[in-house]
Amino acid sequence: MKICFTGGGTLGHVYPAIAIRESLDSDLGDIQCYWIGRNDNNEKSIVEDNGIKFYSISSGKLRRYFSLKNISDSFKILRGYHQSYKILKKNRVDVVFSKGGFVSVPVVYAAHKLKIPIVTHESDKTLGLATRLNARVCNKVCLGFDIDGVDKSKFVYTGNPIRSSLLKWVDCDCDEKRDEIVSNLVNTDVRFQDFYNNYTSNFDVEKPLILVTGGSLGALEINNIIFNNLDYLTTHYNIYHQMGNSYKEIKRNRYIGVTSIGDEIGFLYSKCSLCISRAGAGTVNEIINLKVNSLLIPLLTNASRGEQLDNAQYFEERGCVAVLSDRENSQIFIDSISDLIDNKVEIEKRKVMESCMSESHANKNLCNVITSVIKE
């Protein structure tokens, strides 16, 4: 089978698709994989590191508001459509799997023109613009959340997939199992070995660990909240802070700042007493499946369509996560951390999370949908 993945914009589009590729391999044996995405070295590197041939195409942004840039970007999208058509035809692709993002739209429509079966996946609680456009020509639209009011003949609830590199950390909240995994990684993975040496030499083993992540691009708002409260945080906790594109070097005891986090994220999830994060669907899915105590700071509607607010509200109502109520008040931020860590609120949260887990079914569900559309 030949499958072409498409999507991009953030690694939240990339990692779930890689999870599906891994699951397809285990189900169907050797398959040929391609990826059509935007011209981004970070995304290309991660895709190619997972054994997938990467093609970049011209792409334009899909805006929900009037802008003169929509005119120039429409030509980029048209060019991307023609590039995609040639790539798909040349490689005789059997199925296209879209993970969304504006770069996926010309690929999906080129596949439709070539009569190639198409499956797309929406991670968030609400449908993004790219998903709504792709849904018009897709065979199946897979949903990370069970959304009401959609055509059940085309839309199917599958849950959100999770990477195989994280699966070994599921239910890994005992030191013995964690130490076994760490020992194996230290002996086989040079990158993890460097990470672990840095981790053990900088942190106080007697203090709780707080993991801070704003996603693959980082989150300036979260970074500033951490910086403004760094004296208090590093006095009481170990802080592992992923800053993204706004990285700056900070040297402090019990503090490590990095630009990005790779496969060591599984260890950090298993070790941390609290994760402070945005509320992208991919991150929240990982938090739920690994039963991580969390404080979410979702993107507001002035910077997104509001999907992170919907994601956060959905899981907050179910008791799985906490959401920061006031971003401007440092005392509320500190009190929230104290409630979640020092008062052991996470013990009850972990019990509730069991009912929200999707890991055991989502990867398999998506693979079943992909293989079914090929047979239609």
Q: How far apart are CA 124 and CA 283, in angstroms?
A: 11
pLDDT of residue 305: 79
Cβ atoms within 10 A of the Cβ of 331, count?
A: 9
Q: What is the pLDDT of residue 374?
A: 87
The CATH number of 165-356 is: 3.40.50.2000
φ/ψ of residue 295, rounded to 5 = -125, 115
Superfamily (CATH) of domain 2-162+360-375: Glycogen Phosphorylase B; (3.40.50.2000)
DSSP 246-294: G------TTEEEES---TTHHHHHHH-SEEEE---HHHHHHHHHTT--E
How far is it, in rounded angstroms, from Cα 260 to Cα 104?
A: 24
* Token reading at 334: 């500190």
- Residue 265 CA to residue 216 CA, distance in Å, equals 12
Which pLDDT value is given to residue 13? 84
Q: Partners of 210 in the beta sheet?
A: 239, 274
The residue ranges of every structural domain in the chain are 2-162+360-375, 165-356
Return the residue matching tokens 């005392």: 331
| 212, β-bridge pairs | 241, 276
Check: CB of residue 17 under 8 Å from CB of residue 5: yes
φ/ψ (deg, to 5) at 128? -75, 170
Looking at residue 357, what is its pLDDT?
57
* Shared fold status for 2-162+360-375 and 165-356: yes
pLDDT at residue 42 in the model? 85
Asked if 166 contacts 266 with a C-beta cutoff of 8 angstroms, the reply is: yes
* Spans of the chain below 50 pLDDT: 347, 358-359
Are the C-beta atoms of residues 289 and 356 closer than 8 Å to each other? no
Which residues contact residue 341 at a Cβ distance below 8 angstroms, ignoring those fewer than 6 apart? Answer: 208, 210, 237, 273, 274, 293
Neighbouring residues of 122: CB distance < 8 A, sequence distance ≥ 6: 100, 128, 131, 141, 142, 143, 144
The rounded distance, in Å, linking the Cα atoms of 358 and 352 is: 13
pLDDT at 343: 67
Structure-block tokens of residue 227: 């910086």
Q: Beta-strand (E) ranges in the chain?
A: 2-6, 32-37, 53-56, 95-98, 118-122, 140-143, 155-157, 209-213, 238-242, 255-258, 274-277, 294-296, 322-323
